[in-house]
């Protein structure tokens, strides 16, 4: 069941919601009539669900950051609210309008942090939610319960890395912005095809440990959605632990890392509060970590994190640039792209921002420990 924050359990809010739900029930009774109007249309979303939505979708609220950043890349003007507050790292790379949108919270792991009262007041045309390979019926039920509570149609799109081209095609039709969607769809396909070609050239995959947290002993397991970028870049994630799946993070003992003895250490920020430089300093100065060949060979890389983490926090369109960066950084002899040019191109197309080559180089070069 969806958990609404305690602050919204005041009697006044309950009365507000009850009235809203009554209105929703009234609308449901009029469903047969709505189907015959010109203002509504039935679609099949990417989870195979039949949904009645407004024929013209002008406003969208996304259940979490993964969907929000996807929407930002395609139709930022339609986003009606954010999930979390704007960070300092984000400010130079996103629009002022997007930064100042109201913050409503998110629906995550089947639970809701969303400000229900404000969502009902804003009343977006659709609630856009993500579908991943680990998404369960309980996740979808959580989305649907919030949608029903607010009287908003729930539309689900696939955000698995290799499904991104299909998602752009789907949303281009839904939002009536096919030319923009086609540009991004083609970019996704081009990037995925490039990565496939590069992987086919790899004779021996490098191994990597993703170091997270203050001491580096938290990591992304290989089966996590956040590890898809490593897989597609032809990098073997050391943390092959079956029970860690989906969004999960896991803690590791140092002896296990020593046993893996990875070729590379990828310092990855789990949240904007994590200071990557502090973790790097800890790794290169600690006697235990110095036993690893990755430290001895100075093969430590920091994931670029502006405006959003390139590896996959959240697992959204940011991974497209991360895939090219990671593969080119760990397999420089196999990569045939100009990474600076690709950063400029990507930020223009997906973040609507014109970067200079110097700015692009700063993003890349500052993240490699020599």
pLDDT tens digit sequence for 36-75: 467 999 999 999 999 999 999 999 999 999 999 999 999 9
- Higher-pLDDT residue of 292 and 364 is 292
Contacts of 181 (CB under 8 A, 6+ apart): 74, 168, 169, 171, 172, 173, 175
Closest CA to 347 of 221, 184, 199: 184
CB atoms within 10 A of CB 225: 24
Phi, then psi, of 81 in degrees rounded to 5: -165, 160
At 30, the pLDDT band (50, 70, 90 cuts) reads: very low
366 pLDDT tier (thresholds 50, 70, 90): low
Domains of the chain: 6-18+33-159 (3.40.50.1980), 204-369 (3.40.50.1980)
Please report, in angstroms and rounded to a whole number, the separation of the first and last CA atoms in the chain: 49
pLDDT of 307 over the 50 cut: yes
Share above pLDDT 90 across residues of the chain, in percent, rounded to a whole number: 74
Distance, in Å, from the CA atom of 144 to the CA atom of 132, rounded to the nearest integer, reads 16
Q: Which two tokens stand for residue 265?
A: 């250490």
Q: What is the pTM of this model?
A: 0.88
* Segment 147-201, tens digit of pLDDT: 999 999 999 999 999 999 999 999 999 999 999 999 999 999 999 999 999 999 9
Element (H, E) at 201: helix 178-201
């Amino acid at each position: 069941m969806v958990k609404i924050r305690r602050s919204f359990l005041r009697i006044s809010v309950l009365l507000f919601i009850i009235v809203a739900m009554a209105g929703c029930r009234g609308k449901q009774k009029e469903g047969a009539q709505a189907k015959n109007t010109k203002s509504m249309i039935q679609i099949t979303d990417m989870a195979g669900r039949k949904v009645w939505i407004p024929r013209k979708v002008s406003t969208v609220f996304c259940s979490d950051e993964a969907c929000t950043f996807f929407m930002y890349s395609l139709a930022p003007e339609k986003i009606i609210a954010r999930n979390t507050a704007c960070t300092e790292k984000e400010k130079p790379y996103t629009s002022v309008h997007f930064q100042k949108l109201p913050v409503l919270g998110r629906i995550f792991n089947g639970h809701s942090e969303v400000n229900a009262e404000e969502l009902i007041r804003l009343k977006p045309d659709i609630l856009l939610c993500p579908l991943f390979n680990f998404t369960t019926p309980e996740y979808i039920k959580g989305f649907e319960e919030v949608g029903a509570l607010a009287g908003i149609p729930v539309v689900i799109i696939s955000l698995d890395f290799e499904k991104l081209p299909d998602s752009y095609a789907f949303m281009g039709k839904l939002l009536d912005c096919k030319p923009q969607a086609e540009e991004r769809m083609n970019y996704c396909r081009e990037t995925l095809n490039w990565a496939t070609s590069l992987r086919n050239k790899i004779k021996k995959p490098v191994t990597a440990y993703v170091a997270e947290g203050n001491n580096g002993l938290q990591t992304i397991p290989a089966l996590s959605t956040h590890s898809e970028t490593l897989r597609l870049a032809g990098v073997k994630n050391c943390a092959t632990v079956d029970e860690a799946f989906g969004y999960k993070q896991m803690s590791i003992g140092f002896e296990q890392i020593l046993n893996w003895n990875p070729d590379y250490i990828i310092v990855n920020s789990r949240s904007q509060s994590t200071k990557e430089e502090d973790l790097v300093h800890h790794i290169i100065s600690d006697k235990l970590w110095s036993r690893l060949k990755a430290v001895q060979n100075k093969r430590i890389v920091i994931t670029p994190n502006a405006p959003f983490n390139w590896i996959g926090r959240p697992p959204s369109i940011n991974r497209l640039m991360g895939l090219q960066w990671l593969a080119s950084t760990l397999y420089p002899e196999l990569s045939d792209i100009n990474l600076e040019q690709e950063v400029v191109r990507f930020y223009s197309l997906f973040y609507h921002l014109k970067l200079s080559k110097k700015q692009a180089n700063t993003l890349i070069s500052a993240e490699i420990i020599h």
